[in-house]
Amino acid sequence: MAEVIEAGSLQDELFGPSPLSDEFGNVAGPFLRFQSGCGPGEEAWLGSVLILTSNGTTDPAAAPQPTLTLTDDNAGSASGTQELTPSKLDDCLGWVFWRFEIELQLAPWQRPVQYSVTAGDTTTKTYSFWLPAVGQPMHWGYTSCNGFSGSIPQDAPERQDATYLWRDMLRLHSAFPLHCLVGGGDQLYNDAVFKEPTLHAWGNLEEHEVKVAADWTNEMLDQSTRFYLENYVRSFVMEDVCDAYAQIPQVMVWDDHDLWDGYGSYDKPIQECKVFQGLFSVARRFYLLFQQHTTDKFNKVKQEFLTNDGTEFHFLKYLGPQVAVLGVDMRSQRTKARIMPPSTFALLKRTVDEMPPGTQHLVVLSGIPLIFPTVPSAESVLGCISTLSRNVRAFRGMARATGILDRFDQPELLDDLIDGWVAEVHAEERLEFIHLLQHFATAKNVRVSILSGDAHVAGVGRLYSKPKFKNIADDPLFMPQIVSSAIMNAPPPTGAVKMLMQTNWATNVDSKTRQKLVRAFYPHHPRTDKLLAARNWCDISLCAPPFAPPMVPEDPEFGGLRFVLRVENAHKGRAGHAEETYVVLAPRHPQAAKVGLATGFGKSVDSHVMLSLPSQHRKVSDAPRQNGKAAHK
């Protein structure tokens, strides 16, 4: 008997079923998620499987209740096979959301686990996912921007083979299994919700005051609910994407396009208007269902985030005892003035301060890059346009007609400029965030790395001490930032990237810290050596024997976290996999090298070992390697 956690709304009765069953049958999924476990001293793996069922009607009771058959040679039963029943999360427009709980014990070896789901007369194919061994650092991936902006032409080459890099990932997974896949934001693009008739009409209202005061209507609720449900299903069951989501346990944070373009970076009146807030509730509902496998009511029982009052969705997960990932929700509480409220900073500090000892790397997920070029004066100019549009009706009409203003009466580019950490409006908060990351590094003796997406380019940046250490591996404040975006969306024009790079140089953050983008792609791409306009994703593993090439503790890579940017180069012809790879190493914290923190199966290196890089390795992030060797043409 399934546990009923939360029922759907009255929308099914009012508006009829979704036509998705005509496209995909009566089952969507399965979607696999990693929840917890695998940390210091932990020998369990906890996750969930989400599946949607329908019978093509509006009656949720008529939708078949699924069962999950799980086969694990280490399960403890004679056959190694379990039959699992789900909890009902929600129902919407004839579709029912079911969640299966999976809890497995880790073994001294990594191993595959098989499962399939049966709903009515439909049984999915059998999928396998891999569990790490006890103490094993996970091999994992990072993606962002899995969809297309509305401005990308239908004949763009990226649209002709949208999932090229997903196939690259699946090929790698078949040879070197991924234990987890982190979605860093924009897991899909929901911007087209404003093409729905009622929202389109609202966006075209002439009077700004009327637009702000407009009510959130039942028709808006119906149309937006249909849109988000159908767009999520179509995006998640896309060929190759669905195979990855069923075989590699997911961990996800959201960014603006998971809601809609620029959410949180609009003027206060429009951001807080009834239509925006009503639409946010719909987007939030489906984010929780599809990306977190939960609802507000379900999470009151499960308590799966750092704060469980429904306001924010931060998390700390361990991808093996050595590596922790801090997922920071930079959308739920965002305003034009602040990315996160002060209370969030206190929460994140408290969470990391309470981490048990032994972790060597802390990877912080920042949906938007912390280190990135700026466009001087552009914010001020566009800010003046925004003020004029609010106060001068004639100017507003002209600006709309010429495309300067968007449907929300804000300059078309302003939300993009002020949405990032490097925007002038966020300068003080950005410094506060950098200081928080530095506190993590010094208080816990961990190497902090930053993973970002959003920008549709690949890039490597770094924060480092002033004065600069001769060997950056000895710098406790050295923090590499890897920007990996997009796995599907088209990159910006190379000319635009070149222009953006002209505004970037090494600068001071404060009296003790400097920042810069590094020439990660030189000499292979000499004109775009800091930001590369090409689709990409990131493959991540710890240099920890026996899970990495043989090495001794004195090796400069020992205990380092290896980020491999896997890049498409369509101009050279398709190779059937990522045509270029660039390796960036985040060395372990210098204190970890001194005290010999645990690596691998709880083994430790000698306490007297010091990390000393030979000259060719001194600039770790400055000299990424392509295809395992120094990058070259």
- Convert the pLDDT of each residue in 346-366 to its tens digit: 999 999 999 998 899 999 999
Do residues 510 and 477 touch, judged by C-beta distance below 8 A? no
Q: Which amino acid is at 79?
A: S
The residue-averaged pLDDT of 223-248 equals: 97
CA end-to-end span of the chain, whole Å? 61
Alpha-carbon gap, residue 488 to 161, rounded angstroms:
9
Query: Encoding tokens for residue 45?
Result: 């793996």
**Confidence class of residue 11 from pLDDT cuts 50, 70 and 90?**
very low
The residue-averaged pLDDT of 328-335 equals: 96
Rg of the chain's alpha carbons, rounded to an integer?
24
Alpha-carbon gap, residue 347 to 262, rounded angstroms:
25
The pLDDT of residue 146: 96
Alpha-carbon gap, residue 334 to 342, rounded angstroms:
11
**Confidence class of residue 227 from pLDDT cuts 50, 70 and 90?**
very high
Which CATH architecture is the domain 1-133 placed in?
Sandwich (2.60)
Can 1-133 and 135-192+249-267+293-372+425-630 be said to share one CATH topology?
A: no
Q: Give backbone dihedrals phi and psi of 83, rounded to 5 degrees, phi first.
A: -110, 120
The residue-averaged pLDDT of 248-268 equals: 95
Helix, strand or coil, per DSSP, at residue 200: helix
The pLDDT of residue 618: 30
Minimum mean pLDDT range among 408-412, 436-440, 514-518: 408-412
Alpha-carbon gap, residue 168 to 154, rounded angstroms:
23
The pLDDT of residue 592: 79
pLDDT averaged over every residue in the chain: 84
Alpha-carbon gap, residue 20 to 54, rounded angstroms:
9
Q: What are the extents of the domains in the chain? A: 1-133, 135-192+249-267+293-372+425-630, 378-415
Q: Which alpha helices (H) appear in 113-207, and where do they start and end? A: 157-160, 164-175, 197-203
SS3 for 397-460, per residue? HHHHHHCCECCCCCECCHHHHHHCCCCHHHHHHHHHHHHHHHHHHHHHCCEEEEEECCCCCEEE
The pLDDT of residue 623: 43
**Confidence class of residue 92 from pLDDT cuts 50, 70 and 90?**
very high
Alpha-carbon gap, residue 480 to 236, rounded angstroms:
31
Alpha-carbon gap, residue 264 to 420, rounded angstroms:
11
The residue-averaged pLDDT of 35-47 equals: 95
- Using the predicted structure, report yes or no on whether residue 14 has a pLDDT greater than 50: no
The pLDDT of residue 596: 52
Instruction: Identify which of 215, 114, 457, 185 has the alpha carbon closest to the alpha carbon of residue 339.
Output: 185
Instruction: Identify which of 393, 292, 383 has the alpha carbon closest to the alpha carbon of residue 31.
Output: 292
User: In this structure, what DSSP letter does residue 8 have?
Assistant: -
The pLDDT of residue 629: 41
Q: What is the distance of C-alpha 2 from the center of its chain?
A: 31
Instruction: Identify which of 158, 150, 186, 243 has the alpha carbon closest to the alpha carbon of residue 419.
Output: 186
List of residues 6+ apart from 324 with CB closer than 8 A: 39, 316, 317, 318, 355, 359, 361, 362, 363, 446
The pLDDT of residue 500: 78
Query: Encoding tokens for residue 229?
Result: 């449900």
- Using the predicted structure, report yes or no on whether residue 237 has a pLDDT greater than 80: yes
**Confidence class of residue 601 from pLDDT cuts 50, 70 and 90?**
very low
Structure-model confidence comparison of residues 576 and 247, the more confident one? 247
Q: What is the distance of C-alpha 465 from the center of its chain?
A: 28
The pTM assigned to this predicted structure is 0.87
Helix, strand or coil, per DSSP, at residue 279: helix
pLDDT, tens digit (0-9, with 9 covering 90-100), for 451-499: 999 999 999 999 999 999 999 999 999 999 999 999 999 998 888 788 7
**Confidence class of residue 421 from pLDDT cuts 50, 70 and 90?**
very high
Minimum mean pLDDT range among 23-37, 181-195, 390-404, 468-482: 390-404
Alpha-carbon gap, residue 124 to 130, rounded angstroms:
18
- Using the predicted structure, report yes or no on whether residue 411 has a pLDDT greater than 80: no
| Domain spanning 135-192+249-267+293-372+425-630, CATH class | alpha beta
Query: Encoding tokens for residue 138?
Result: 């996970």
**Sign for the pseudo-dihedral over CA of 71, 73, 75, 77:** positive
Torsion angle in degrees (nearest 10) through CA of 156, 158, 159, 160: 90
Q: Which alpha helices (H) appear in 189-302, and where do they start and end? A: 197-203, 208-213, 218-236, 241-247, 256-259, 268-271, 274-292, 296-302
**Confidence class of residue 279 from pLDDT cuts 50, 70 and 90?**
very high
Alpha-carbon gap, residue 118 to 27, rounded angstroms:
9
Alpha-carbon gap, residue 482 to 461, rounded angstroms:
7
The residue-averaged pLDDT of 442-458 equals: 95
Alpha-carbon gap, residue 304 to 486, rounded angstroms:
28
